[in-house]
Amino acid sequence: MFDSTYCPDANRYDGRMRYRRCGRSGLMLPEISLGLWHNFGDSTPIDRQKGMIFKAFDLGITHFDLANNYGPPFGAAERNFGPILKQLPRDEVVISSKAGYIMWPGPYGEWGSRKHLLASLDQSLRRIGVDYVDIFYSHRFDPDTPLEETLGALDSAVRAGKALYTGISSYPSEQTREAIRICEDNRWNRIQIHQPNYSLLNRWIESHLISCCAEEGVGIIAFCPLYQGLLTDKYLNGVPPGSRHSAVPHLLRDQDLQKPVLEGVRKLHELARRRGQSLAQMSIAWILRDPHITSVLCGASGIDQIVENCHAVNHARFSAEELQEIDAILAPIKMPHSLWAAD
Ligand code: NAP
């Protein structure tokens, strides 16, 4: 059983975690944030969830990322997080939530309409038991709803005091620039953060999105930095029971774990060892090498992973030779199409 009288570590800001400014906003985010997409629904014991969240907070992780439909079932992660948050100092925590993927049946249960976004935000606030979230995202670009409507809804959320900052997730670079212009033209609250998928095995944001966000002063928080566990030592000797691939094979798929990919992962693992890091740590550090990245949004199934991953911030520099070696290892690897590569 986890001790219910949790008292945060008094040394949590002693420098083990570093914080980066989110674009040109005043918001500082930890270099590593914790995502609650998996392992925080109703199938994970609450004591285990508490253990991970409290450990993360003790290590200086102040940012916890949610969405309306994180579970299972949909909504459970927000509902479970609410009581845990009560044991943390609210003003030291940045909570995000999102709306846009399927949440409830019928024409208003997903995508980017004002109707969906604002109803979903109200539901999220009720589930978490808070008056506001720190960041509210449009979870995906909706090609059938005018961007003005989606962005106007985000602006309304801020004006109503239900969100402090707004973000977009997985928007292509062209629509990202357009979104920023629309907010400026209408004098709406500007988008402060973009949440794209980014890892050694999915580098789509390098062609346009990073420079777009850098020029526009928008922060970037990279999700699935470990490719859901593939960029760790977890799959080097087969698929362990209970792992993400064994539990949700439609997300981390058989085709993601092909032989050439695993051969590349093994070479990356060797390079990480030479650098004195685990592969998970090197994969996170490699993202942090870019100063335009604000935070790396990791998931975890246990406390040990959070502890291991946080050490990545201590060794995030790469020599030119190491970067070349990484590029050479990755060059022959062709990953199957990712749902989250938007450009
Ligand atoms: P990830 O960090 O790439 O993968 C996390 C998984 O990797 C863990 O659950 C664990 O899987 C394994 N792992 C982590 N550290 C490990 C270590 N040191 N050694 C071995 N295995 C390790 O990220 P993710 O969980 O897929 O996503 C992170 C967050 O991004 C989500 O929680 C969510 O907040 C956000 N996200 C956003 C979107 C979006 O559309 N905006 C989409 C997806 C995710 P096992 O269970 O196998 O141990």
Which one, of 226, 227, 230, lies nearest residue 262 by Cα? Answer: 230
How many Å is the Cα radius of gyration of the chain?
Answer: 19
Taking only the tens place, the pLDDT of each residue in 132-178 is: 999 999 999 999 999 999 999 999 999 999 999 999 999 999 999 99
In the predicted model, is pLDDT for residue 29 greater than 90?
yes
Average pLDDT over residues 30-37: 98
Residue in 220, 236, 233, 223 with CA at minimum distance from that of residue 299: 223
The ligand 1 site (C-beta within 6 Å) comprises 35-39, 65, 139, 169-170, 195, 223-229, 232, 234, 243-244, 280, 297-301, 305, 308-309
Q: What's the CA gap between 117 and 139, in Å, rounded?
A: 10
Q: What are phi and psi of 209, to 5 degrees?
A: -65, -40
Q: How confident is the model at residue 336 (pLDDT cuts 50, 70, 90)?
A: confident
Q: Does residue 262 carry a pLDDT above 50? A: yes
* The predicted structure's pLDDT at residue 249: 86
Instruction: Decide: 25 and 158 in contact? Cβ < 8 Å.
Output: no
Return the pLDDT at 55. 98
Residue 134 C-alpha to ligand 1 middle, in angstroms?
A: 21
Coil, strand or helix at 84: helix
- Give, using CA atoms, the residue closest to atom 22 of ligand 1: 229
Residue 278 CB contacts under 8 Å (≥ 6 apart), including other chains = 232, 233, 272, 308
- Distance (angstroms) between ligand 1 centre and the Cα of 34 equals 9
Q: Would the pLDDT of 47 be above 50? A: yes
Among protein residues, the one whose CA lies closest to atom 16 of ligand 1? 305
Residue with CA closest to ligand 1 atom 41: 169
Q: What is the pLDDT of residues 90-127, one digit of tens each?
A: 999 999 999 999 999 999 999 999 999 999 999 999 99
Distance 302 CA to ligand 1 centre (A): 11
Q: Which of 139, 128, 215, 204 is nearest to 171 (CA)?
A: 139
Query: What is the structure's pLDDT at 305?
Result: 98
Span between the terminal Cα atoms of the chain, in Å: 46
Residue 2 has pLDDT above 60, yes or no: no
Nearest-CA residue for atom 34 of ligand 1: 35
Catalogue the long-range contacts made by 40-46 (C-beta closer than 8 Å, 24 or more residues apart).
40/70, 40/76, 40/77, 40/80, 40/81, 41/70, 41/71, 41/72, 41/73, 41/76, 41/77, 41/80, 42/71, 42/72, 42/73, 42/76, 42/80, 43/72, 46/80, 46/84
pLDDT of res. 256: 87
For the chain, the average pLDDT equals 96
Q: What are the pLDDT digits (tens) for 275-288?
A: 999 999 999 999 99
Residue 271 contacts residue 285 (beta carbons within 8 Å): no
Question: What gap in Å lies between CA 1 and CA 218, rounded to an integer?
Answer: 42
Cβ–Cβ under 8 Å, residues 336 and 253 = yes
Q: What SS3 class is residue 124?
A: helix
Test site for ligand 1: of 33, 234, 295, most ligand atoms within 8 A of the Cβ: 234
pLDDT at 316: 93
On the CB side of 123, CA atoms within 13 Å amount to 19
pLDDT at position 1 is: 45
Cβ burial 23-42 (10 Å sphere, 16+ → b, else e): bebebbbbbbbbbbbbbbbe
Q: How far apart are CA 3 and CA 334, in angstroms?
A: 46
What is the pTM assigned to this prediction? 0.97
Weakest mean pLDDT among 67-71, 74-78, 107-111, 250-254: 250-254
Distance 41 CA to ligand 1 centre (A): 14
Residue 224 Cα to ligand 1 midpoint, Å, equals 5
Q: How far is the CA of 317 from the centre of ligand 1 (A)?
A: 23
Atom of ligand 1 nearest to the CA of 234: 20
- pLDDT greater than 90 at residue 337: no
Cα–Cα distance measured from residue 299 to residue 196, given in angstroms and rounded to the nearest whole number: 15
- Residue 248: pLDDT band (50, 70, 90) is confident
Instruction: Give which of 275, 307, 286, 276 is closest to 201, Cα–Cα.
Output: 286
Q: Assess whether pLDDT exceeds 50 at residue 51.
A: yes
State the pLDDT at residue 4: 64
Asked if pLDDT for residue 70 goes beyond 70, the answer is yes
pLDDT per residue as tens digits for the range 186-240: 999 999 999 999 999 999 999 999 999 999 999 999 999 999 999 999 999 988 8
How close is the Cα of 227 to the center of ligand 1, in Å? Answer: 7
- Ligand 1 pocket test: pick from 32, 38, 110 the residue with the most ligand atoms within 8 Å of its Cβ: 38
Is the CB of residue 40 less than 8 Å from the CB of residue 79? no
Which atom of ligand 1 is nearest the CA belonging to 243? 47
Measured in Å, residue 245 CA sits from the centre of ligand 1 at: 11
The H-or-E segment that residue 288 falls in is helix 279-288
What pLDDT was estimated at residue 182?
98
